Structure 1
Amino acid sequence: MRIQRILATTAALTCLAALPACKGEGQAAPPGAPAPSGSASAGAAGGAAAEGPLVRAQQYMRQWAGCEDLSAKADDPRMPDGDFPKTGKWSVTEIGVCSTTAEKSDIVIAVPKDMKEFQAGYKKHVLDKISGGDGAYGLVSNVLIGKDFVAFPTLPKTSMALVRSEMRVLTCNPTAPVPKGYKREKALVEDCGLSDFVAAEDGSGSPNFETPQNPSDGGGEKLGQPKSGSLGLARAGSIPELRNLVNNSPLACKDHFSTDPEAVEIESIDYQPVVKGNATDWGVSGRALCGQPAGERRAHDLSWLDTVGDMKKLQTKAKAAQQADLKDDGTLRATASMLLVGENVAVETNKPAARFVLYQLQFLYLNCVPGFSAPSGYRLEKAQVEGCVLTNYEPEHPVR
């Protein structure tokens, strides 16, 4: 998994969204420029008007990615069957679809009358999903904003080609990360961002140069798996340093944090730590609680930060606890925290959205499920205890 954070004035944003006029063969003409010979007829053949915003969007995207067989027919089997984009929703007036050739994938195109209204609608959609319990929704986005159209490529490879233009990925999940080296620009609505970083669930998106790159890439080894050792893990010298490291994750450590021993021992039926009892027996040297203990309302957002003096001891005890949990019904309790470890630190949390961000900070999950394997593109490294691995792949919580 992969990633790190988003979010210039409205005038600057307008310039950003304006697609460039370029001269010379193979460079982009702005949407609305005269079509190259034969382009309009190619679009019209699929049922789209020979002129108009759909054809202009097609002409623009062709400079970076294939967009053939343009169609605006509602019964085209390539049209999306989800709840967006839809004509009449979020000010969308037209919907079209075209296909790439090399990747054999599709690009849905939406034309909004009001781009700000569209972005506001998408933001609400994302936040509704998050409030409904899907905290990771929108962390991987295929919503690409152009000057007067929005594209929805079905493959990250197509998105990566299109962001070489002035098109940008729209993200409205507040924890969606943008690694260093990528553009971070304001959207037309608050708390959303535009970027040229393409996140992908399977690791096939834009490379994250903030995390160590696999030295065996191209050498025949399985992508994401080092030949030996580790690709790198998070570390911190103290609990305050660890808190600062994870401060921008959804762990609630910024506003609700305590190292008081009595507070650290608090747990609830909804939020259960990995480390129980005497922390030193687990190899833990320092411990803190993030989140709110019970008060006027029940305890919520509880997670734990650990500095670790003996990582092998921690992993050994955590393996035993995890396997005891698995004995009940073969699955881990949803309310039980998962242990994410670094070199000398660990975080215990049951929040998938928080773990998604922690993976970008080079924490890895201690997985002791028998027979577990991770797909190519995810990290999979040896743990310090036999029968477990360290990984950033969670089959039960795939990123949307």
Structure 2
Amino acid sequence: MIIYTGVPAIMRIQRIVAVSTAALLCLTALTACGSDEGKDSLNDYLDNQAPAKNGGTDGPGGSDGNGKARLPKAGSMAKAAQIVNGYGDCSDISTDPHDDDFFPGDETYDSKWAVSERGACGKGTRIFMIKDLKTFQATYKAELDADRKESPNKGHRGKFLLGQDFAVLPDQKPVIRNAIKPGGLLILNCHPDFNPPSGYRKDPALVKGCVLTDYFED
């Protein structure tokens, strides 16, 4: 009788394959073998994948290609006031045109501008609900182009803060600066000479010659 005490051939083959596989992984993934070189390579790769900074159009909240630049959408005056209240005091919205918070001349923003409702919420902040954002932008640009014949620099800093279906006219600079932070509103600028510093957004608006930007110059 012959008693075989060796390791079966199939088990020896499996062990050889396992060792070879581990060695191959060690060579191709240096971090698994304790090398810092692999870590550096991985960190470099992740750094290169980081989104653009300073509000660039390649960063979070960048242009979505439809001229709205991922702007917030309200759907109602109450919701628009709630959004604006995150940037400045807008807790008491009024749609009464006789209210002291309404500015003389705001009644010109009417159906021609595709404005369906006007509101004011104290300290000079006014909100305009918009039915058609492209009509609103086109009307502003046409009015600005006419005014620039006498005042060439008019509108160089832009005018309205825009959401997808509402516009805001604040009377205080801190409100503007708070509103144009990432994820907020953007300024509509239709001046032909507008050119913000690098790193700021300059997304195409719905109307040729107009852009949406997060750059505000005092």
- What is the CA distance between 1:176 and its match in structure 2? 2.1
Note the 1:76-95 alignment, pairs <5 A: 76-82=99-105, 86-95=109-118
- 2:65 maps to 1:12: yes
Q: What is the root-mean-square deviation in Å for CA atoms of aligned residues?
A: 2.3
- Stretches of structure 1 that go unaligned for 5 or more consecutive residues are 1-7, 20-29, 33-52, 100-104, 201-400
Look up the SS of the partner of 1:16 in the other structure.
coil
The number of equivalent residue pairs is 157
CA change 1:55–1:193 in 2 (3 A) is same
- Stretches of structure 2 that go unaligned for 5 or more consecutive residues are 1-57
- One-letter amino acid of the structure 2 residue matched with residue 153 of structure 1: P
Q: What is residue 82 of structure 2 aligned with on the other side?
A: 59
- 2:170 maps to 1:174: no
TM-score normalised by length of structure 2: 0.65
- Whether the 8 Å contact between 1:173 and 1:192 is mirrored in structure 2 is yes
Look up the SS of the partner of 2:148 in the other structure.
helix
Structure with the largest fraction of strand: 1
- Whether the 8 Å contact between 1:142 and 1:153 is mirrored in structure 2 is no
By relative contact order (CA 8 Å, sep 6+), the higher-ranking structure is 2
- 2:91 maps to 1:74: no
- Whether the 8 Å contact between 2:129 and 2:166 is mirrored in structure 1 is yes
- 2:211 maps to 1:188: no
- One-letter amino acid of the structure 2 residue matched with residue 94 of structure 1: E
- Whether the 8 Å contact between 2:68 and 2:206 is mirrored in structure 1 is no
The equivalent position to 2:152 in structure 1, one of 135, 152, 161, is 135
- What is the CA distance between 1:16 and its match in structure 2? 1.5
The equivalent position to 1:31 in structure 2, one of 70, 74, 91, is 74
- One-letter amino acid of the structure 1 residue matched with residue 65 of structure 2: A
CA change 1:16–1:93 in 2 (3 A) is same
- Whether the 8 Å contact between 1:187 and 1:194 is mirrored in structure 2 is yes
In percent, how many aligned pairs have the same letter? 27
CA distance in 1, matches of 2:187, 2:208: 15
Q: Which has the larger radius of gyration?
A: 2
CA distance in 1, matches of 2:87, 2:175: 9
CA change 1:85–1:149 in 2 (3 A) is farther
- 2:145 maps to 1:113: no
- What is the CA distance between 1:153 and its match in structure 2? 0.6
Q: What does the per-residue CA deviation read over 1:202-225, in whole Å, with 9 as the maximum and x for residues that have no partner?
A: xxxxxxxxxxxxxxxxxxxxxxxx
CA change 1:61–1:83 in 2 (3 A) is closer
Look up the SS of the partner of 2:92 in the other structure.
strand
CA distance in 1, matches of 2:206, 2:67: 9
CA change 1:175–1:189 in 2 (3 A) is same
